[in-house]
A and B are shown apart, each in its own frame.
Chain A
């Protein structure tokens, strides 16, 4: 008896199923890992100092954190502080330490509001509640003098911010930068 074989298969193109599998895995990976549209407000043009003790820190909640970019405001002899406050803008805006026209202290007001809620006073609940986990990350220009950093630290202390963190580079990152 003549055995009937399988029908002949003609395929005009290669089998793309494995390719799609891999590409889908890659797409899912990049979607999970990539931070698109999420910004801390860190100014990439600021050259931060190097420290051998710096450690990696995952900023998991931006609601508890503000990144203050601090540098010298040329030609004025005063600090230029920029940050994103409340996510109201995608770009960091300047927050003056002291507004000479009104005498107000916008930086202190912002820090107090983030630390103590809308009433900017200790105590309260809801929108006026305190945020004990609130932290300030200072991204300072390594070449600026202490006189530019000092008013920012004073504002942090007056706003009762207990967690002040200094952004730095590790030695290995410095080597990578120099080799570019």
Chain B
């Protein structure tokens, strides 16, 4: 009797992908674990004021040094968790107040015929003022519209 053989079977041929998948998975996990995926870091970019005196000796800009003396913001810290900023006769105890004062002063200076690009702010902090307050003052000056802001040596 003739035995009925099983139907002819076609097996899928091709390379064995298992080792490839293993290696690729290991690579994937390594890259996911080892990579640094923190977002972009953030910075306060500065345009430093230009003065004819002091350290540095930078090459003067094409238009020369601004004629006007920069606005000086004195910063003190009577208690460790507060700061007081003084600009001339004005006094501010928060960054928002300081920003308003600087905006007013800037408007007055521009009304008096000064050029926006000549206006500079120099922050003159006390030695004990915390860095975070200086960044607040710096931010307030930039938010008020001053493009050139820098620090002077402590008093």
Asked whether A52 is an interface residue with its Cβ less than 8 Å from the other chain, the reply is yes
| Besides A8-B9, A9-B10, 13 other A-B contacts (C-beta < 8 A) | A11-B11, A33-B35, A36-B35, A49-B131, A51-B42, A54-B43, A56-B41, A57-B45, A143-B132, A145-B130, A146-B131, A165-B46, A168-B43
Q: List residues of chain A with CB within 8 A of the CB of B8.
A: 7
Beyond A11-B12, A23-B21, A145-B127, whether A165 also contacts B43 by CB under 8 A is yes
Mark the stretch among B24-32, B63-71, B86-94, B102-110 that contacts chain A.
B24-32
Count how many chain B residues have C-beta atoms less than 8 Å from C-beta atoms of the other chain.
51
Asked whether B116 is an interface residue with its Cβ less than 8 Å from the other chain, the reply is no
Who on chain A is nearest to B77 by CB?
A: A145
CA of A154 to CA of B48, assembled, Å: 13
Return A159 CB to nearest CB of chain B, in Å.
8
Query: Which B residues fall within an 8 A CB radius of A?
Result: 7-12, 17, 20-21, 24-25, 27-28, 31-32, 34-37, 39-46, 48, 54-58, 125-132, 134-136, 138-139, 142-143, 151, 153-154
Count how many chain A residues have C-beta atoms less than 8 Å from C-beta atoms of the other chain.
58
Q: Are B129 and A146 in contact (CB under 8 A)?
A: yes
Q: Are B10 and A27 in contact (CB under 8 A)?
A: no
Q: Are A8 and B35 in contact (CB under 8 A)?
A: no
Contact of A149 among B34, B48, B131, B139 (CB under 8 A): B131
Return A156 CB to nearest CB of chain B, in Å.
8
Who on chain A is nearest to B42 by CB?
A: A54
Q: List residues of chain B with CB within 8 A of the CB of A90.
A: none
Contact of B35 among A9, A19, A35, A144 (CB under 8 A): A35
Cβ proximity bits A33-51 to B, threshold 8 Å, 1 near / 0 not? 1111000001000000111
Q: List residues of chain A with CB within 8 A of the CB of B136.
A: 49, 51
CA of A59 to CA of B38, assembled, Å: 14
Beyond A57-B43, A169-B42, whether A34 also contacts B11 by CB under 8 A is no
Q: Are A16 and B40 in contact (CB under 8 A)?
A: no
CA of A165 to CA of B150, assembled, Å: 11
Q: List residues of chain A with CB within 8 A of the CB of B45.
A: 55, 57, 165
Q: Are B127 and A167 in contact (CB under 8 A)?
A: no
CA of A26 to CA of B45, assembled, Å: 35
Q: List residues of chain B with CB within 8 A of the CB of A16.
A: 17, 21
Contact of B31 among A9, A31, A55, A166 (CB under 8 A): A31
Q: Are A57 and B41 in contact (CB under 8 A)?
A: yes
Q: List residues of chain A with CB within 8 A of the CB of B44.
A: 51, 53-54, 165-168
Q: List residues of chain A with CB within 8 A of the CB of B57.
A: 160
Q: Are B128 and A146 in contact (CB under 8 A)?
A: yes
Q: Are A140 and B58 in contact (CB under 8 A)?
A: no
Who on chain B is nearest to A34 by CB?
A: B35
CA of A147 to CA of B41, assembled, Å: 26
CA of A23 to CA of B21, assembled, Å: 9
CA of A180 to CA of B122, assembled, Å: 37
Q: List residues of chain B with CB within 8 A of the CB of A150.
A: 127, 151, 153-154
